[in-house]
Structure formats: C-alpha cells, structure tokens
Structure 1
Amino acid sequence: MEGVALVAFALIGIVAGFLAGLLGIGGGIIIVPSLILIFHLLGMPQAILVHMAIGTSLASIIITTGVATFAHHKKKGVIWDVVFLMFPGIFLGCLLGGFFANYLSGIFLQIIFALFILVLGALMVRPRKKPKKPQKKPEKAFLTWTGLGIGAIASMLGISGGVFTAPLLMGCQYPEKRAIGTSSAIGFMVTVFGALTYLYFGRADVHVADSVGYLYLPALILIGVAAVISTPFGVKFAHQIDGKKLRKIFAAMLIIVGIIMLFN
C-alpha cells in the first residue's frame, strides 16, 4: 500500500500544480480530500487524520503557489500593490485560522465553504456587465480586512485561498489573468503562514513516522515536486485562452467542488 500511496501523491501533485497555474489556486481543494482518503487507507489515527491532511496540503502548496507566482510574474500577471496591501491581514488571519481550527466543527466549516463557492461559481457564470463609470480601486482597508478573512478560512481548510481571492479581484474589475496571477502570490503567503501554524500546533500531538507536526513529509515532498513540473504548463495554457473561457472554467470548478463537499 505504501508504494501505491507514493504514486498517488505524485499524481495528486501533477493535477494540483496544473490547476495552480491555470486557475490561480494552490490545488488544496484537490489535495485535502485526496490525502484524507489515502491517510485513512494507510491507517493513520482518526483523531489527527484531517489535521494531517490540512497541514500537509498547506505545506505542499508552498512550492506550487511559489512556482505559479514566479511564472505569472514573468508574464506581468501579478498586481504586487494588491499583494502587499493584503499581507498584514493574511498573516494575522492564518494565525487565527490555525488556532481556531481545533475548536470549530469540521462539518460546519465544510458546509459553509461548500455553499459559499457554489454561490460564487454561479455568479461567475453570469456575463460581466461593463460598468457605466470607471471602477474605483478597492480601498486599502478593504483589502487588508479581506486578507484577514481569506487567511483565516484558507488556513482552516488547507487551501491557498485562490477560490476566494481570484473571484474577489475579478469582481473589483481586475483583468481575469492578472487576478489569477495575483491570487497565486497571495496564496503563497497563505500557505507559508498556514503551514507554520500547523507545524507548531502538531508538535506535541503527532507521533506518526516521517512526519513533523501535522506535516507528512513523503506526501509533502512528492506532491510539491510533481507540482513544480506541471504548474508552468497550467500557466502557459492560462495565458493562451480567452479570459471569458478562463472565467467559465474557474466557475465550473467551483460549482463541482461545492457540490462534492456539500453532499460528501
């Protein structure tokens, strides 16, 4: 079973990396449920299984979002002013999210998250209306507080936050491709701070071989390395297709994932 699990980790990384480059997400929506299943088959203790999946997902996505950010930056697809404005909120949000994750019901979080992305995906399918007046850039305080919320929720769920950040920036009338590139950069910050939080809280509770805190090293390494290989292909494809098509792909993925989370 261990050999099959290693192959599965690599395949998960390939899929997650491609999605990171294509849609500006870290792939956590694929990694977390996949790791929960694999860790269960490997016989990990049920009490820490979900935390291990979330922590490992965040850590492996560090590499994924880092590569995606660099690739988008080379194509001038990252709005760094937005990234720096959201940084304080992201940092504090990740710390709070990791802290409260142990005290909130996982089922409650899953249902709320599923409903949120279902509504978000449905809204994104609708055609965007051209504003009659030029849209103002969002206020600095708005971006900081939004970063706080994104950081908290993303660190609780083991994702980079791209499912929130990219639609948010698109809603602020930023171009789809630059919104996705900026989402990758913000996701990089989320995963770094989030992974460190799960590393800290899992120091005393986890006694699983090949793990550090809530991070399972074999999965972390294989997913991360595989993602490095596949992420540039996703970025290349993202900059080749029409923005409207990219928006529809993102919306369809949100709806599919929302349905799976809601009924599983």
Structure 2
Amino acid sequence: MGAGFLGLDPGLILILLAMGCFGGFSAGLLGIGGGMVLVPFMTMIFTARGFAPHLVVHMAIATSLATILFTSMSSMRAHHRHGAVLWRVARLLAPGIVIGSLIGPWIGKQMNTAMLSLFFAAFVAFSATQILLNKRPGGGRDLPGTPGMLAAGGVVGLLSGFLGAGGGFVSIPFMTWCRIPIHNAVATSAALGFPIALAGTAANIYYGWGEPDLPPGALGFIWLPGLALIVVASMTVAPLGAKLAHRLPVVKLKRIFAGIFYLLAAYMLWKAVSGSFN
C-alpha cells in the first residue's frame, strides 16, 4: 500500500472523496441522510481492505453516523439563519434522542453482521420507496406532551444510532403528522442530527473500544481516515446539491436515486444471505 494521505493509496483516497461527494450531493438535493449511501459503499471498501468480516457493517454504520457530527452543523446553521428551526420542539425531542442514540449502537453490537446487514437493507429499500412515492403524512394531531415527546425522540434516536442515519426518515414524518409545516420539520430534523450523531458516536467509540480485530486507524468502531475524507467531500458538495434542488428536475432525479438505493439495498441483502461475513 502506498504512503499517500493518511497512509492510504491514492486510488482509495479518490474513492472515499467520490463517495463523500455523492452522499453530500444527495443529502443537499433530496434532503435525505447520507447513511443510505455511505454504509453500503463503506461495507464494500472495508471488505476489499480485508477488515474483519464480523466488523465491517458495524464499522460502516459507526463511521457514517460520525460524519453527521460535522455535516449537521452546517445544515443546522443554514436553517437557523432562515428562522426555520423550531427550537422548542428540538428541546423536547432531544432528551429521548440522546437516550435512544446511546442504546441503538448497543443493540447493533449484539447482532451478528449478517443480521445487521439485513436490517439495513430493509431500511434502505423502505426509504427508497418513500422517495419514489414522495408521500407526506397528512396532519393528524398536535404534538404530544413531554412523555410522548420523550418516547418519540427515543424511537428516532434508537433507529438512528442502530442504522447510522440522521433520523430525518422518522422525525420529519412524525413532525408533519403533528401539523408542523414541512420546511420547519426538515429544519428541526437537521438540528436534531447533531445530538443524534454526538451520542451515537460516543457510544460506538465506547462499545468498540478494545475490540481485538479492529484495523489501524480505528477509534472504537469508527474508521478515522475514511471519516476525515468523507466529511471534507460531503460538506463541500452538499451546498451545491441544495442550490441545484431549485433548478434541476428533482422528481426525475428522485427516481434515479431511488433506483440506486434499491441496488444498494440488494447488495446489503446479498451480503447478508450469501455468507460473505463468515
């Protein structure tokens, strides 16, 4: 292996940068989290690099979640400047989110890699279908009281910590169902990405600490070289995706992205059932 940046060969550096660009662009353009893109591709990369098979999906999910620590801050600032973040709602959801985000990685650690890959494949396929159908839940009721918000936040955090995603796939439908306008729901979900990522990243470092088969450059379940390159690329390209969202035929692009996500879901399903992680 060459002695390139962060000890990586130039080819792998370009792949990681391209992956970060694709994840950032899709997040900016469609408002989806990068986890759907990053986890399958990182699983491919970690497998190709010879990481321990029983750790590749755990590390892919953990590294994906860690990227949200950085990308959520720029997104949150942008939405806050437009006055779209409902901080009262965020404060009510945040305690449950932190608790759930600590528990989600623990649940993932108890699962073998094939089962975790199977769950992730189902998540990506479901999310791709939602993108394709473009259905928004109608207003159903007002926001619940403090116990209900704690429980809702717990579900968002648990699924996010478990799957390495930012939580928007759950929090946005919940808030719009509670009669919050969609632009406020998206902005508030962006603000919630930071506590999700902070708690989930801390949990993944703790739960992965001392694992005997971790590769060089790992901090718990997080692979730092990949994290650094993906963050740089995704934070650079995400604003471009957001800008082009108002100029490009997003409906047609959603169909293309949904097709890509179905292929990624099929890859994770194949990895789960083929015995590749044994």
- TM-score normalized by structure 2? 0.79
User: Corresponding residue for 1:138?
Assistant: 143
Q: Distance in 2 between matches of 1:76 and 1:247?
A: 27
- Alignment RMSD, CA only? 3.1
User: Corresponding residue for 1:261?
Assistant: 265
Q: Distance in 1 between matches of 2:119 and 2:135?
A: 25
1:171 aligns with 2:209: no
1:228 aligns with 2:232: no
Mean Cα deviation higher: 229-238 or 102-111: 102-111
1:57 aligns with 2:68: no
The superposition leaves residues 33-70 of structure 1 with CA deviations (integer Å, 9 ceiling, x where unpaired) of: 11110111111121222222121111122111221111
User: Corresponding residue for 1:147?
Assistant: 153
Q: What runs of 5+ residues in structure 2 fail to find an aligned partner? A: 2-8, 271-278
1:199 aligns with 2:205: yes
1:214 aligns with 2:221: yes
Q: Distance in 1 between matches of 2:135 and 2:200?
A: 34
Within the candidate set 12, 27, 37, 2:44 is matched to: 37
Instruction: Tell me if the contact between 1:72 and 1:78 (Cα under 8 Å) persists in the aligned partners.
Output: yes
Instruction: Tell me if the contact between 2:75 and 2:190 (Cα under 8 Å) persists in the aligned partners.
Output: yes
Q: Distance in 2 between matches of 1:129 and 1:162?
A: 14
Mean Cα deviation higher: 84-93 or 118-127: 118-127
1:11 aligns with 2:18: yes
Corresponding letter in the other structure for 1:34: F
What displacement does 1:177 show?
A: 2.4
The superposition leaves residues 78-99 of structure 1 with CA deviations (integer Å, 9 ceiling, x where unpaired) of: 2222211111111110111111
User: Corresponding residue for 2:6?
Assistant: none
Instruction: Tell me if the contact between 1:121 and 1:252 (Cα under 8 Å) persists in the aligned partners.
Output: no
Tell me the SS of whatever aligns to 2:111.
coil
Call closer, same or farther: CA 1:129–1:45 in 2, change over 3 Å: closer
User: Corresponding residue for 1:184?
Assistant: 190
Instruction: Tell me if the contact between 1:96 and 1:152 (Cα under 8 Å) persists in the aligned partners.
Output: yes
Mean Cα deviation higher: 103-112 or 38-47: 103-112
Call closer, same or farther: CA 1:15–1:97 in 2, change over 3 Å: same
Within the candidate set 11, 24, 28, 1:21 is matched to: 28
What displacement does 1:191 show?
A: 1.1
What displacement does 1:195 show?
A: 0.9
User: Corresponding residue for 1:48?
Assistant: 55
Q: What runs of 5+ residues in structure 1 fail to find an aligned partner? A: none
What displacement does 1:5 show?
A: 1.4
User: Corresponding residue for 1:72?
Assistant: 79
Instruction: Tell me if the contact between 1:19 and 1:234 (Cα under 8 Å) persists in the aligned partners.
Output: yes
Instruction: Tell me if the contact between 2:57 and 2:117 (Cα under 8 Å) persists in the aligned partners.
Output: no
Name the count of aligned residue pairs. Answer: 258
Fraction of identical pairs, as percent: 31
